[in-house]
Amino acid sequence: MELIHGMERYREGRYDIAVPYPKTGGALVMSVIAPIIDRVQTEVRYTLALLMALTLLALLVAQIGSRHLALLLQRLVISARALPVAIRDQISWIAPPKFFC
């Protein structure tokens, strides 16, 4: 609750910035901070949403990749376990595909 109260206090703050304005010889004075705070909060929310989406995409890719790798390793283990039996019984052995090498 204290954080919300503190943010509201900043939103109500007034910061005067005088920018020289050559056409009139005076200065342009801006004193509203709330729109700046709103813009920063919007940008932070957008960035966090983008990071969350990228993280979820990375997790999905990692899950698919790990399942594929586990399947390939399982096929390799089955093939490797069949080799001693094939040698002992002198039968043909089907080698794993070249992409295992």
* Whether the Cβ atoms of residue 93 and residue 69 lie closer than 8 Å to each other: no
More confident residue, 79 or 36: 79
SS3 assignment, position 27? strand
Q: What is the pTM assigned to this prediction?
A: 0.57
Task: Count structural domains, the chain.
Answer: 1
Q: What is the pLDDT of residues 34-60, one digit of tens each?
A: 777 788 889 999 999 999 999 999 999
SS3 assignment, position 29? strand
Is 80 exceeded by the pLDDT of residue 15? no
User: Where in the sequence is the domain holding 7, given as residue range(s)?
Assistant: 2-100
Give the pLDDT of residue 47.
97
Count of CA atoms in the C-beta half-sphere (13 A) of 87:
7
